[in-house]
Amino acid sequence: MSRSKLHEEADRWGMAAATLVRWLRAADPEPVLTGAQASALAVIVQAGQIMPSQLAALEEVSRPTMARTLSQLEAMSMIERTASALDGRSAILSATPKGSAVIRDGHARRTAPLVAALSGLTAEESAALSGALPVLEALLRREIPKRS
C-alpha cells in the first residue's frame, strides 16, 4: 500500500474512532463520574487489586494527579484502600460493589446504541467488522506507544 494511502486510511481510522467515542459518551448524558474517575475506576475493576503507582502509570498521569482522583473515588465510596502486606506504606486499591456497579451500568448504557446499530448490519457487514476487530485489537496492543 502506498504511503499516501496509508495516511488516508490512518486518518479515516482516527476520525472513526473519535466519532465512535463521542457517540458512546453521548449515550450516557449524565455520567456519575468524570472521564478521569471512570477511567481509573474501570482499570481498578478490571485489575481486581492494584497499587496507586501502577494505576498512575497505566493511566499515564502523575502520582499527585492520580492521588486526587483516588481521593474523589474514595469519598464517593467507589474504591477502598487496604495496606499492602508487603509494604505497610503502600496501599492496595480495589473497587467496592458500588464502584463495580457504576462501571458495569455505565458501560451497558454507553454500549446499548452500538449493540442496536450492530444488530442492524447485514451479514456481510457484520462479518467484515468482526474480522477487522481482532486485527485492530492486536495493532493497538503492540503499536500504540506509551508516553514516558
Q: List pLDDT tens digits, range 69-96.
A: 999 999 999 999 998 887 777 899 999 9
Asked whether residue 12 is domain-assigned, the answer is no
In a domain, 132, yes or no: yes
The C-alpha atoms of residue 104 and residue 109 are separated, in whole angstroms, by 9
Domain interval for residue 127: 32-143
More confident residue, 140 or 57: 57
Predicted local confidence at residue 128, as pLDDT:
96
Residue 104 counted as domain residue: yes
30 pLDDT band (50/70/90 cuts)? confident
In a domain, 148, yes or no: no
**What phi and psi, each to the nearest 5 degrees, are found at residue 20?**
-60, -45
Instruction: Indicate the number of domains in the chain.
Output: 1
Q: What CATH number does residue 64 fall under?
A: 1.10.10.10
Scan for cell 458495569, then name that residue.
104
Q: Is 95 helix (H, G, I), strand (E, B) or coil?
A: strand
Helices (H) then strands (E): counts for the chain: 6, 2
Asked if residue 76 is part of any domain, the answer here is: yes
In a domain, 138, yes or no: yes
Q: Is residue 19 part of a domain?
A: no
Rounded to an integer, the average pLDDT of 130-137 is 93
Any domain includes 77: yes
Average pLDDT over residues 50-70: 95
The residue-averaged pLDDT of 128-138 equals 93
Grid cell, residue 97, equals 460493589
pLDDT tens track for 91-120: 999 999 999 999 999 999 989 999 999 999
Report the predicted TM-score, pTM, of the whole model to 2 decimal places. Answer: 0.77
